[in-house]
Amino acid sequence: MRISEVMNEPVACLPSDGATQAAIIMRDENTGIVPVVASFEERKLVGVVTDRDLCVDIVAAGRDPNDVTVQDCMTNEVVTCGPEEDLKRVAELMSENQIRHIVIIDAHRHLKGVVSLADIS
């Protein structure tokens, strides 16, 4: 089975958005990850912000989330795959990298979807 058959279309944010905005997206979309794109028009992936990023980089550090941008707390090195990737290979990537989400991009790094561990289990 191809990953495109189970991936979800995510709500993304911009690097200049506030960390609070990313947290609101996580709450409203019931997810632990928000892809970060350079622009909403092109949707080129530049990073992700996770619930862990918000917790460790902001809350545990005693920072005010209203004063932090997504760019200040996002993860730049993102594990990705293409929409044609096999479901088994995506599960292996999650296991190898000890992550719960994989971002799906095309050959030009344009955001196509997100798959969570729950989606493939």
* Alpha-carbon span 11 to 1, nearest angstrom: 24
Domain carrying residue 81: 3-120
* 75 in Cβ contact with 22 (< 8 Å): no
Distances (CA, A) of 62 to 38, 44, 59: 28, 31, 5
To which residue do tokens 């707390």 refer?
73
Q: Residue 86: its pLDDT value, please?
A: 94
pTM to 2 decimal places: 0.93
Pairing of strands 101-105, 80-81: parallel
Encode pLDDT of 38-95 as tens digits. Answer: 999 999 999 999 999 999 999 999 999 999 999 999 999 999 999 999 999 999 999 9
Q: Residue 43: its pLDDT value, please?
A: 96
Q: How many domains does the chain contain in total?
A: 1
Which CATH number fits the domain that encloses residue 31? 3.10.580.10
93: enclosing H helix or E strand: helix 87-97
What tokens does 33 get?
């990850």
Encode pLDDT of 96-105 as tens digits. Answer: 999 999 999 9
